[in-house]
Amino acid sequence: MADRSAPSSNSAFDRFAARALPAFERALAEALPPPVPRAPALSRAIQDAVLSPGKRLRPLVALAAGEIVRAPLPAATAVAIAVEYLHAASLALDDLPSMDDARRRRGRPAIHVAHGVATAELAALALVARAFEVAAQAPETPPRVRARVVGELARAVGAEGSCAGQAADLAADPARLTLEDLEAIHAGKTGALFVAAVRGGALAGGAGDETLEALTLFARNLGLAFQITDDMLDLAGNAETMGKDTRRDAHRANFATLFGPESSRKLVDELLEAAVSALSPLGRKAAVLADLPRVVRDRQK
Amino acid sequence: MADRSAPSSNSAFDRFAARALPAFERALAEALPPPVPRAPALSRAIQDAVLSPGKRLRPLVALAAGEIVRAPLPAATAVAIAVEYLHAASLALDDLPSMDDARRRRGRPAIHVAHGVATAELAALALVARAFEVAAQAPETPPRVRARVVGELARAVGAEGSCAGQAADLAADPARLTLEDLEAIHAGKTGALFVAAVRGGALAGGAGDETLEALTLFARNLGLAFQITDDMLDLAGNAETMGKDTRRDAHRANFATLFGPESSRKLVDELLEAAVSALSPLGRKAAVLADLPRVVRDRQK
């Protein structure tokens, strides 16, 4: 079996990732807040949350969307950084004892395990704030677009986005959950930030409404498929491969527990097909994004 | 003794507050996120955090700064709403068991006491996101200014602002704390958002650098004085008047515990004098803000 941690070089997305990631990782680190003089633990927690090895799927999606409309690289990179900071913040929050109470993430101790609960909470808030600062100050981007991207990112993580999804997930009664409920929960928890990533990347290049709509539909389907594969991998429970506590959701209702692996796999295939179809108006330019459904289908972690 | 909960009508600030507050309170409620269908507890927590009776000092400061430069009222109101949402979020976070572990706030149970820790954490994040959304979409405001205000608000609450202050406060060793440390902690915890409030309100009216500098100096001194009076009132410990747990900080080093009531009072007077002086370049136009030091000096809660 091939080592999936090394990108295979023969697919459009893997080639794109290999080309875009080194500079993005540097920019991601450079945009972190300066060290906090009287609270070094806060700085370490912020760094841990962002710089621990991640798949960077959301920022890569933002960068790939930017390329479709020839966005200036610094403009799309600012959006991608903001998206990844928001994602890192949401992981730190979701892992808290009050939420999913997870002790490992990305192969390392969760942020609150390494740095304490209060520091994890503050690191998450600091990263959210930094995300909006970076988006508001994106270089080579008209102010009108910067303000719009801030608004879209804010909705994606707020009470109409990931906060709503996480709160609904915590409040859900597994015995009474419907497919519609689950889709709404995951549209918030995962879908909203994927959508903001593609839209933000495309807005950085001045995309028009038609392009934005195609990308939105793509991201909504891709995000949901990604979440279902997450549930399936969690239930299969290879903590070592996943780098985080698995089977934490086994007592909670999710796609995998509710519908079983076979129906879940079928739903994933349908969603990924819909994601690819959504891109058809964009033609060849969307080849990198169009390769992502394969990445999600094949993911092992 | 006069009832200080009813504003006396013979001072510039009280008259301004009586005039500005009714419309502001309506706008504050109307800008809240729409109800979250599958997580009513999150919506209730968000409403509680924002709509419980507060002094609204920071948004009033933003509105008063806006009046100095004749900012359109809807523009200054958006900044004021964003500032109050950020303030409400920081109170909900500061009260958490992992932080100050306070059980009462504004005369009511703290957000996590009423709604649970996870919901309080999510409500705080949702309010932070909404604050940036409101600021990014401020009406009658040029996009360039909206993007700039988002950046300034983000710095005020992030790892160079209130997060840094709160983290430094939690990390501080009371036995080794200097005046400089305390000032830095409170510049972050309280000063930064006061500064962002005046600057944001003034930017909404297109203020130039000189005006911004005067207002910044004013707010920095006022914010620090406000925090010291907070410490003094906390130590004096009238929980009923304060509407929150008091003497929670008695074991922690703060201005009141470190320097005693007399020196603290003297420091407050010096800071408030500096605050008034800072406004002198603005002349009569700053009469409402220039009255605020009196409000802080006389505060009983």
Domain ranges for chain A, please list them. 12-298
Distance from CA of B124 to the nearest CA of A (A): 9
Give whole-number Cα distances, A293 to A12, A67, A274, B71, in Å.
12, 18, 10, 49
Judge whether residue A293 has pLDDT over 50.
yes
Q: Tokens representing B95?
A: 């009260």
Q: Which chain B residue shows the shortest CA-CA distance from A46?
A: B159
d(CA A266, CA A111): 35
Q: Which of A236-240, A262-266, B254-258 has the lowest mean pLDDT?
A: A236-240
Best of B93, B94, B95, B132 to disrupt the A interface by mutation (most A CBs within 10 Å)? B132
Q: Which chain B residue shows the shortest CA-CA distance from A173?
A: B38
Q: Which chain B residue shows the shortest CA-CA distance from A143?
A: B144
d(CA B29, CA B278): 33
Judge whether residue B284 has pLDDT over 90.
yes
Q: Tokens representing A153?
A: 């990112």
* A249-281 as b/e: b if 16+ CB within 10 A: beebbbbbbbbeeeebbebbeebbebbbebbee
- Cβ–Cβ gap B125/A125 under 8 Å: yes
Q: Which chain B residue shows the shortest CA-CA distance from A100?
A: B118
Distance from CA of B40 to the nearest CA of A (A): 9
Give chain A positions within 8 Å (CB) of B38: 164, 167-168, 171-172, 181, 184-185
Confidence of residue B258 (pLDDT cuts 50, 70, 90): confident
Question: pLDDT tens, A67-102?
Answer: 999 999 999 999 999 999 999 999 999 999 999 999
Write the burial class of residue B180 (CB in 10 Å: 0-12 exposed, 13-18 middle, 19+ buried). Answer: exposed
Between the CA atoms of B162, B166, B169 and B172, what dihedral angle is there, to the nearest 10 degrees?
A: -110
In 3-state terms chain A splits into helix, strand, coil percentages (rounded to 5) of: 70, 0, 25
Distance from CA of A105 to the nearest CA of B (A): 19
For residue A240, the model assigns a pLDDT of 60
Confidence of residue B5 (pLDDT cuts 50, 70, 90): very low
Listed ranges A201-210, A224-233, A247-256; the one with the highest mean pLDDT:
A201-210
Give chain B positions within 8 Å (CB) of A43: 159
For residue A4, the model assigns a pLDDT of 43
Confidence of residue A156 (pLDDT cuts 50, 70, 90): very high
Question: pLDDT tens, A34-76?
Answer: 999 899 999 999 999 999 998 999 999 999 999 999 999 999 9
Mean pLDDT over residues B36-50, rounded? 96
Nearest to A128 among B42, B99, B128 (CB): B128
Instruction: Name the CA radius of gyration of chain A, rounded.
Output: 18
| pTM confidence score | 0.94
Render chain B in DSSP notation, one character per residue.
---TTSPPTTSHHHHHHHHHHHHHHHHHHHTSPPP-TT-HHHHHHHHHHHHS----HHHHHHHHHHHHTT--HHHHHHHHHHHHHHHHHHHHHHTSTTTT---EETTEE-HHHHH-HHHHHHHHHHHHHHHHHHHHT-TTS-HHHHHHHHHHHHHHHSTTTHHHHHHHHHH--GGG--HHHHHHHHIIIIIHHHHHHHHHHHHTTT--HHHHHHHHHHHHHHHHHHHHHHHHHHHHT-HHHHTS--STTTTS--HHHHHHHHHHHHHHHHHHHHHHHHTGGGGGGGHHHHTHHHHHHH---
Give chain B positions within 8 Å (CB) of A187: none
d(CA A172, CA A163): 14
d(CA A56, CA A29): 13
Mean pLDDT over residues A248-274, rounded? 83
Mean pLDDT over residues A15-27, rounded? 97
Question: Between these two residues, A249 and A127, which has the higher pLDDT value?
Answer: A127
CB contact at 8 A, B37 and A178: no
d(CA A131, CA A153): 9
Nearest to B171 among A41, A98, A161 (CB): A41
Select from B158, B204, B37 the least CA-distant residue to A82. B158
- Cβ–Cβ gap B166/A122 under 8 Å: yes
- Cβ–Cβ gap A133/B154 under 8 Å: yes
Element (H, E) at A108: strand A108-109
Distance from CA of A299 to the nearest CA of B (A): 29
d(CA A85, CA A30): 12
d(CA A135, CA B154): 11
Best of B117, B125, B153 to disrupt the A interface by mutation (most A CBs within 10 Å)? B125
Judge whether residue A204 has pLDDT over 70.
yes
Judge whether residue B237 has pLDDT over 80.
no
Percent of chain B with pLDDT over 90: 77
The CATH superfamily holding the domain A12-298 is Farnesyl Diphosphate Synthase (1.10.600.10)
Nearest to B126 among A34, A42, A158 (CB): A158
Give chain A positions within 8 Å (CB) of B154: 129-130, 132-133, 136
For residue A124, the model assigns a pLDDT of 98
Confidence of residue B4 (pLDDT cuts 50, 70, 90): very low
Nearest to A33 among B41, B158, B172 (CB): B158
Q: Which of A200-214, A234-248, B221-235 has the lowest mean pLDDT?
A: A234-248
Mean pLDDT over residues B277-285, rounded? 97
Confidence of residue A146 (pLDDT cuts 50, 70, 90): very high
Nearest to B158 among A93, A129, A163 (CB): A129
Judge whether residue A221 has pLDDT over 50.
yes
Give whole-number Cα distances, A78 to A14, A133, A141, B165, B266, in Å.
21, 10, 10, 26, 47
Mean pLDDT over residues A14-20, rounded? 97
Give chain B positions within 8 Å (CB) of A184: 37-38
Percent of chain B with pLDDT over 70: 91
Q: Which chain A residue shows the shortest CA-CA distance from B173?
A: A38
Mean pLDDT over residues B103-114, rounded? 93
Give chain B positions within 8 Å (CB) of A135: 150
Judge whether residue B78 has pLDDT over 70.
yes
Q: Which chain A residue shows the shortest CA-CA distance from B118?
A: A98
Distance from CA of B223 to the nearest CA of A (A): 20
Percent of chain A with pLDDT over 70: 91
CB contact at 8 A, B222 and B293: yes
For residue A248, the model assigns a pLDDT of 58
Distance from CA of A279 to the nearest CA of B (A): 28
d(CA B175, CA B235): 18
- Cβ–Cβ gap A126/B158 under 8 Å: yes
> How many CB atoms neighbour CB B34 within 10 A?
9
For residue A3, the model assigns a pLDDT of 41
Question: pLDDT tens, B115-173?
Answer: 999 999 999 999 999 999 999 999 999 999 999 999 999 999 999 999 999 999 999 98
Give chain B positions within 8 Å (CB) of A164: 36, 38-39, 42, 126
Helix B57-68 and helix B12-30, axial crossing angle in degrees, nearest 10: 110
d(CA A298, CA B6): 66
CB contact at 8 A, B151 and B142: no
Select from B179, B158, B258, B284 the least CA-distant residue to B224. B179
Mean pLDDT over residues A163-185, rounded? 91
d(CA B91, CA B114): 14
- Cβ–Cβ gap B163/A137 under 8 Å: no
For residue B260, the model assigns a pLDDT of 85
Q: Which chain A residue shows the shortest CA-CA distance from B129?
A: A154
d(CA A125, CA B301): 28
Confidence of residue B3 (pLDDT cuts 50, 70, 90): very low
Question: pLDDT tens, B151-167?
Answer: 999 999 999 999 999 99
For residue A258, the model assigns a pLDDT of 82
Give whole-number Cα distances, A301 to A182, A263, B2, B182, in Å.
21, 20, 66, 46
Give whole-number Cα distances, A197 to A150, A290, B25, in Å.
11, 15, 34
Judge whether residue A206 has pLDDT over 90.
yes
Mean pLDDT over residues A168-177, rounded? 89
Between the CA atoms of B147, B152, B157 and B161, what dihedral angle is there, to the nearest 10 degrees?
A: 150
What's the residue count for chain B?
301
Q: Which chain B residue shows the shortest CA-CA distance from A131?
A: B154
d(CA B205, CA B200): 9
Distance from CA of B42 to the nearest CA of A (A): 7
Judge whether residue B191 has pLDDT over 90.
yes
Mean pLDDT over residues B51-58, rounded? 94
Question: Between these two residues, A162 and A177, which has the higher pLDDT value?
Answer: A162
Q: Which of A153-157, A249-253, B49-53, B282-286 has the lowest mean pLDDT?
A: A249-253
Question: pLDDT tens, A178-200?
Answer: 889 999 999 999 999 999 999 99
CB contact at 8 A, B157 and B90: yes
Mean pLDDT over residues A11-31, rounded? 97
Q: Tokens representing B83?
A: 């500032």
Helix B117-136 and helix A73-94, axial crossing angle in degrees, nearest 10: 160
Amino acid (one-letter) located at B156: A
- Cβ–Cβ gap B154/A147 under 8 Å: no
Question: Between these two residues, A51 and A242, which has the higher pLDDT value?
Answer: A51
Render A69-80 in DSSP notation, one character per residue.
TT--HHHHHHHH
Distance from CA of A277 to the nearest CA of B (A): 30
Best of A117, A150, A157, A180 to disrupt the B interface by mutation (most B CBs within 10 Å)? A150
